[in-house]
Structure 1
Amino acid sequence: MPKLRQVALIAFDGFQILDITGPASVFSAANDALGKPYYQVVTVSAKGGLVTSHSGISIQSQSYKSSKLVSIDTLLIAGGSADGLEALTRNEPFMKWITQAAQMARRYGSVCTGAFVLGHLGLLKKKKVTTHWGSCQKLATLYPETEVDANALFINQGKLWTSAGVTTGIDMGLEMVAQAHGVEIANVIAKRLVLYARRPGYQSQFSPLLKAQENAVPQFLKLVEWLGKRLDQNIDIPRMAEQAAMSERTFYRKFTQCFGETPRDYVEKLRLDNVRILLSSKASLKQIASLNGYPTAAQLTKAFAHRFGVSPAFFRKLHCQEAHD
């Protein structure tokens, strides 16, 4: 029987439970999708035994002293409460063990604010990383030699992987599986976990829909959902105003006040964000243009380059290699 690849998840009192259970669910589901044991998921803590999460739910763990460094393939540090992280970094023997494990593992990284532990250990120097949006500025201030991307869901830099936090640990785990076993297996796992979509790392931590849900009045919330289902259609202000049950002038004024941009600009943002996701598929640029309301691929290319600074073809080549495989 081939040797299992061990995924060691670092927990501590006050950890964010989804930072552990999210990646753990991905790797255990990978075993099911592959039809054979391939990954062995273990939770590692300072003392072993029960570790209590920030939500009050406890999970079983093994002590780092009983864990074999040579067995670890992937090492991921969970995020959690500030007090919990501080207590973890004060445990010098455990910190030394984590440093050795990261150096010996095929890959290492963090979920959410676990990035602060890596920064404390000097493992983020001259690297591009991400963490939870609410902690990005603090991470950048504490570790100025690190480039912190506040937008990305997750980032891979060689052996180092970092994710924005909470559910994005699932996205990062799926990408790890995709690199090892192919996109098809990752998609099977995403379906098994009942995910809305398998999100790429370059997708923003804040989707246009999420921003709308946070800021918009009820009429506009329904409108945004309506727009998302009709990106391939001709959508103008009269049609949107009718959907929102307002006069065109009132609609334009209230929409612009609510979203900080014109209805036309907002619709284009929705379309181009959707284009960016579809570029990871095998759909042709012509098909993607049609699905998002652009009459031609040339018009899509012009709009995409204006917003993102690169052509769709170059973006696909840079970020979405599997679309060519």
Structure 2
Amino acid sequence: MHHVVLIVYPGFELLDMSGPASVFNGANRALSQQGKPALYKVVLVSAQGGAIESSSGVVVETRPITEIRQGDAHTVLVVGAEREQLLPAVADPILRAAIPGLAAKAERFGSICTGGFVLAALRLLDGHRIATHWDSCKPFTENFPSVTVDPDALYVVDERLWTSAGVTTGIDMALAMVAHDLDAAIAGEVAKRLILYARRPGYQSQFSPLLQAQVKGDSPFADLIGWIQANLDAPLDVPSLAARAGLTERTFHRKFVAAAGETPARFVEIARLDAARMLLSRGLSLKSVAAQVGLFPPARLADAFERRFGVAPRLFRDMHAEL
């Protein structure tokens, strides 16, 4: 049995814990359907044990971290929280005494979201590359200069160390763990049961140009951006987009740059290439991908993809396609 120890504390982010826990439970369910025994046992621990209230008010029951013997925890993960709740956890003497030993003997250890601050304060991240929530990248770098923070990655695997970015990326990292421990088919089945659009790879950026543009509350192009995303194979030149927006080409170009931070042409190319990267990671042919994202013929996709990501799309697919 593979014991997954999730370390929580008062005010922790519930989804940081429940997301990965659901993934590991889903893997056990998938194994059961194949007539195989469960692999994972999820254990929630805290400094003192007992009932621990999350930031959302949901209370979970935990065991004292001191009850977990070194070597009995195969995966050890510290969940995240907002700064006010995180600081007491960083300073907690019981956690500070217990975590290094558990991490040293575990098959892998790491953090979800801002939980990395707890590990960094214990010098467990020195010399490593890590992921954390995008809003914490700057303070992390300032406080822990010996740690390399990847501001874009959803999660980072550096030897035994696994770290994820904000909140839902813990699910992506847990799925990658399942794929590593079992196989990609089981991980895919879990993702399907959780109604996930896709099993996102760690190299995918935390930031989507579509999302960044849409989240601006005063953006006049939120609907148009959604339409672009759903119609990447359509003509998406400035005249077509301006007509759809009901603006002159000059006015559209000026207002779009102000709202999205990119020219329309650049924005469309980024959206198309991000979609192409996701499709290639699923093993689709270059011809199919090029047609779906509006970068046909395949030679056009290849040129744009290599210019953006520094690798040929065919090689990228061979390296990252799900088995």
Shorter-chain TM-score category? over 0.9
Q: Cα deviations across residues 61-88 of structure 1 (Å, max 9, x unaligned)?
A: 0011222322211110001132433222
The answer to whether the 8 A contact 2:272-2:295 is kept is no
Unmatched segments (≥5 aa) in structure 2:
none
SS class of match (2:76): strand
Question: Aligned partners of 2:67, 2:254: CA distance in 1, in Å?
Answer: 64
Question: Aligned partners of 1:282, 1:99: CA distance in 2, in Å?
Answer: 40
What is the aligned partner in structure 2 of residue 51 from structure 1?
52
**TM-score normalized with structure 1 length:** 0.93
* Residue of structure 1 aligned with 2:20, choices 19, 23, 42: 23
Question: Aligned partners of 1:266, 1:218: CA distance in 2, in Å?
Answer: 15
Question: Aligned partners of 1:314, 1:119: CA distance in 2, in Å?
Answer: 35
Question: Aligned partners of 2:85, 2:217: CA distance in 1, in Å?
Answer: 36
What is the aligned partner in structure 2 of residue 172 from structure 1?
173
Question: Aligned partners of 2:48, 2:219: CA distance in 1, in Å?
Answer: 50
Question: Aligned partners of 1:222, 1:57: CA distance in 2, in Å?
Answer: 35
**Aligned residue type for 2:116:** A
SS class of match (1:9): strand
What is the aligned partner in structure 1 of residue 7 from structure 2?
10
**Aligned residue type for 1:71:** D
SS class of match (1:279): helix
**Aligned residue type for 1:265:** R
What is the aligned partner in structure 2 of residue 277 from structure 1?
278
Q: Cα deviations across residues 167-211 of structure 1 (Å, max 9, x unaligned)?
A: 111111011111222222112111211222221111111212211
Q: Cα deviations across residues 273-298 of structure 1 (Å, max 9, x unaligned)?
A: 11111121111222212221122222
Q: Cα deviations across residues 112-169 of structure 1 (Å, max 9, x unaligned)?
A: 1100111111111111111011111111111111110111111111110001121111
* 1:216, distance to aligned residue in structure 2 (A): 6.5
The answer to whether the 8 A contact 2:90-2:117 is kept is no
Question: Aligned partners of 1:7, 1:144: CA distance in 2, in Å?
Answer: 29
**Aligned residue type for 1:17:** L
SS class of match (1:12): coil
**Aligned residue type for 1:65:** T
The answer to whether the 8 A contact 1:216-1:259 is kept is no
Question: Aligned partners of 2:55, 2:199: CA distance in 1, in Å?
Answer: 27
* 1:219, distance to aligned residue in structure 2 (A): 4.6
RMSD over equivalenced CA pairs, Å: 1.7
What is the aligned partner in structure 2 of residue 226 from structure 1?
227
The answer to whether the 8 A contact 1:216-1:258 is kept is no
SS class of match (2:215): helix
Matches within 5 A, 1:115-130: 115-130=116-131
Unmatched segments (≥5 aa) in structure 1:
none
SS class of match (1:71): coil
Q: Cα deviations across residues 208-259 of structure 1 (Å, max 9, x unaligned)?
A: 2211222265651111111112112332222212221222232222112212
**TM-score normalized with structure 2 length:** 0.93
What is the aligned partner in structure 2 of residue 181 from structure 1?
182
Question: Aligned partners of 1:229, 1:89: CA distance in 2, in Å?
Answer: 44
Moved over 6 A (4+): none
**Aligned residue type for 2:100:** T
**Aligned residue type for 1:206:** F
What is the aligned partner in structure 1 of residue 139 from structure 2?
138
Q: 1:247 to 1:217 in 2, by over 3 A?
A: farther
**Aligned residue type for 2:143:** L
Among all aligned residue pairs of Structure 1 and Structure 2, give the percentage whose two residues are the same amino acid.
45
* 1:317, distance to aligned residue in structure 2 (A): 4.8
Question: Aligned partners of 2:156, 2:134: CA distance in 1, in Å?
Answer: 14
**Aligned residue type for 1:105:** A
Question: Aligned partners of 2:146, 2:295: CA distance in 1, in Å?
Answer: 42
* 1:267, distance to aligned residue in structure 2 (A): 0.5
Residues paired across the two proteins, number = 319
**Aligned residue type for 1:31:** N
The answer to whether the 8 A contact 1:26-1:174 is kept is yes
Q: 1:83 to 1:218 in 2, by over 3 A?
A: closer
The 10-residue stretch of structure 1 (132-141 or 196-205) with the greater mean CA deviation from structure 2: 196-205
What is the aligned partner in structure 2 of residue 291 from structure 1?
292
Matches within 5 A, 1:28-177: 28-35=25-32, 36-177=37-178
* 1:94, distance to aligned residue in structure 2 (A): 2.6
The 10-residue stretch of structure 1 (235-244 or 99-108) with the greater mean CA deviation from structure 2: 235-244
* 1:8, distance to aligned residue in structure 2 (A): 0.3
Question: Aligned partners of 1:108, 1:98: CA distance in 2, in Å?
Answer: 10
